[in-house]
Amino acid sequence: MDAFTTLTAVAAPLPLANVDTDKIIPARFLKTIKRTGLGVHLFDTLRYDETGAERPDFVLNKEPYRHAQILIAHENFGCGSSREHAPWALLDFGIRCVIAPDFADIFHNNCFKNGILPIRLPRAICDQLIDDAKLGGNARITVDLQRQVVVRPNGEEIAFEIDEFRRHSLLEGLDDIGQTLQHAPAIDAYEARQKAQRAWMPTIT
Amino acid sequence: MAGTSPRTLFDKVWDSHVVEKLPDGTCVLYIDRHLTHEVTSPQAFEGLRLAGRKVRRPDLTIAVVDHNIPTSDRSAGISEPESRLQVETLEKNVAEFGVPYFPVNDRRQGIVHIIGPEQGISLPGMTIVCGDSHTSTHGAMGALAFGIGTSEVEHVLATQTLLQKPAKNMLVRVDGTLPPGCTGKDIVLAIIGRIGTAGGTGHVIEYAGEAIRALDMAGRMTVCNMSIEAGARAGMIAPDEVTFEYVRGKPYAPKGEALDRAIAYWRTLPSDAGAHYDRVVEIDATSIVPMVTWGTNPEAVAPITGTVPDPASEPDEAKRAQMQRMLEYMALTPGQKLADVPIDVVFIGSCTNGRIEDIRAAARVAQGRKVAPGVRALVVPGSGIVKQQAEAEGLDRILLDAGFEWREAGCSMCLGMNPDKLTPGQRCASTSNRNFEGRQGPGGRTHLLSPAMAAAAAVTGHLADVRELS
Ligand code: SF4
């Protein structure tokens, strides 16, 4: 996983609530056995018409948003399925940060596992950032994870909250499994305790 | 934590699975059961392979194929190359890593959330995960069960744990007696209509109250299944005599004296009197009417006796725009009576409503009636065991005689990943759990409802109040 420290980039405004994972990546594209290559299908039904041609009015089909690395949306972003294909598709397109008033839990979790930073900010601030993003290519937004601030194009800084464990993992680009395996003795001890206390617990063989 | 203060069901299951608590409050949480399927696991196994890691506890893991497989005759295999590759990849992975597996020709094969409880793999008090959001289904057993992404699938395979922070507690109490014609599906749709698709975000919902206690295990699973549609991390129902009776005799459940000891432990799990909930919602079951969705998320729901709402009456501008878009997509007009909406397809199945009780409910409505001309109606059992049971009861005959299709077990038309799909513009009365745009196939229109209501739609050709058919 790539570390995330600071990012200064074009932000794409997507002022929609309840953007579900079927919208981010429809189920028919989940037949892959890889993590990469899903970017072309990101927001497939919003992005392309029935013939497969780009819909010119969809934000990611317009300059400079084709190169957006930040996405700003409304409430309950990423609701629906647990498919990690949703953050994979965002990442493959180039998105490293999503800003919204709130996120669905599993999607929120999945972002961190892939080096995408999801930032919760109040709706009014998201709307301000959406207005900033609409200014186009010269209006870059900076996300500084070290200092936990989003910097608007006018230089105003907006602080955001993030779980310390996740912040650290993102800043260092740490792999969760590697970190957990350092607790292997505690896991062994737990299993031994469970075996003694809940001997009735069956295994699957 | 694990002291004298009163605890909820969630607190108890959580506390008993904490391996270690890290300084910032993140916990290494032990996982008792890990269910996996072909769609969300390939990249996880690949990750293990690249890192030279093993599956820590294959004996706590089970794999099955469900999302991709056709539900017609499977003797010729899967013709769609990408679906076939996913299934073959799973088969290669379970062989290489020694994971127990129900292949497509095994009669125990079925939707991952149907087979867990059915086989006694999912039991009260457990932590259960799967790379699938509807893992919340298993919470009906009194377990903490939630969906995870593929990176977390890999994490569980490698460590049998997850890094998690505890969720908040939410209580949804449904009191009173559910009126005739209403089911667990109507309860959960009414709940989501009330609290919204993000109403449970950050919480684990415990369902309680007289109407929940009165549900059989199938109804409880339907309710917990759709917890994720309310944004909740999981749904749970305290185990009781109904649960213990259900578990008894299941293939992987404890037997004899081991079961007695298990039940003694399970009896300690229900929430203590005075336990704290961060949020409480009360629903009066007596006021529930058979429900049907009219929009493109499950919160856009109304009683079948109602009409399509008018966006003009919505004060919030963003919500009004969203409603308008929903009505355009669904091709519905404000004020239109829901019971008049004609349908093209009926889908009875999925992890929400693919159990034997659901098929019995559909067959009761179908008996002696015919599917309306021009309507395609599919009944897809949730597992091979459900299919076998239904056939033993003669339900397949009743449904076939009425003009329904009787298919093999799988996710089928719940999501557009296998050959069972809606075509653009088709309108479907569906017992599944998601009515998102394109969920059942690009351009397809979905109305969520109960199995009895779906069967009523099939035989009348339009959305219909099942209570008027008796
Ligand atoms: S039946 Fe539908 S919701 Fe359930 S696991 Fe299959 S695809 Fe997911």
Residues B313-372: tens digit of each pLDDT: 999 988 899 999 999 999 999 999 999 999 999 999 999 999 999 999 999 999 999 999
In B, minimum Cα distance to A176 occurs at B155
CB contact residues (below 8 A), chain B span 226-285, against chain A = 228, 231, 233, 252-254, 258-259, 261-262, 265
In which residue are the tokens 């969720």 written?
B167
DSSP, collapsed to helix, strand or coil, labels residue B182 as: coil
Average pLDDT of the residues of chain B: 97
Mutate to test the pocket of ligand 1, among B146, B383, B432, B435 (most ligand atoms within 8 A of CB): B432
CB atoms within 10 A of CB A97: 24
pTM across the whole model: 0.95
| A196 in contact with B, Cβ within 8 Å | no
- Residue A45 near residue B437, CB atoms below 8 Å: yes
| B197 in contact with A, Cβ within 8 Å | yes
**Is B254 within 8 Å of A202 when comparing Cβ atoms?**
yes
CATH class of A6-174: alpha beta
User: CA A143, CA A9: separation in Å to the nearest integer?
Assistant: 9
DSSP, collapsed to helix, strand or coil, labels residue B437 as: coil
**B171: which strand partners?**
B206, B280
Q: Which of B98, B106, B467 is nearest to B303 (CA)?
A: B467
User: CA B206, CA B142: separation in Å to the nearest integer?
Assistant: 9
Residue whose CA lies nearest to ligand 1 atom number 6? B411
| A203 in contact with B, Cβ within 8 Å | yes
Q: How far is the CA of B24 from the centre of ligand 1 (A)?
A: 35
Residue among A79, A113, A171, A194 with most chain B CBs within 10 A, to mutate: A79
Residue whose CA lies nearest to ligand 1 atom number 1? B350
pLDDT at A205: 83
**Is A22 within 8 Å of B437 when comparing Cβ atoms?**
yes
Q: pLDDT 10s per residue in chain A (205 long)? A: 789 999 999 999 999 999 999 999 999 999 999 999 999 999 999 999 999 999 999 999 999 999 999 999 999 999 999 999 999 999 999 999 999 999 999 999 999 999 999 999 999 999 999 999 999 888 999 999 999 999 999 999 999 999 999 999 999 999 899 999 999 999 999 999 999 999 999 999 8
Domain ranges for chain A? 6-174
Peptide bond into A64 cis (omega under 30): yes
Instruction: Say what the ipTM of the complex is.
Output: 0.94
**Is A177 within 8 Å of B259 when comparing Cβ atoms?**
no
**Is A87 within 8 Å of B89 when comparing Cβ atoms?**
no
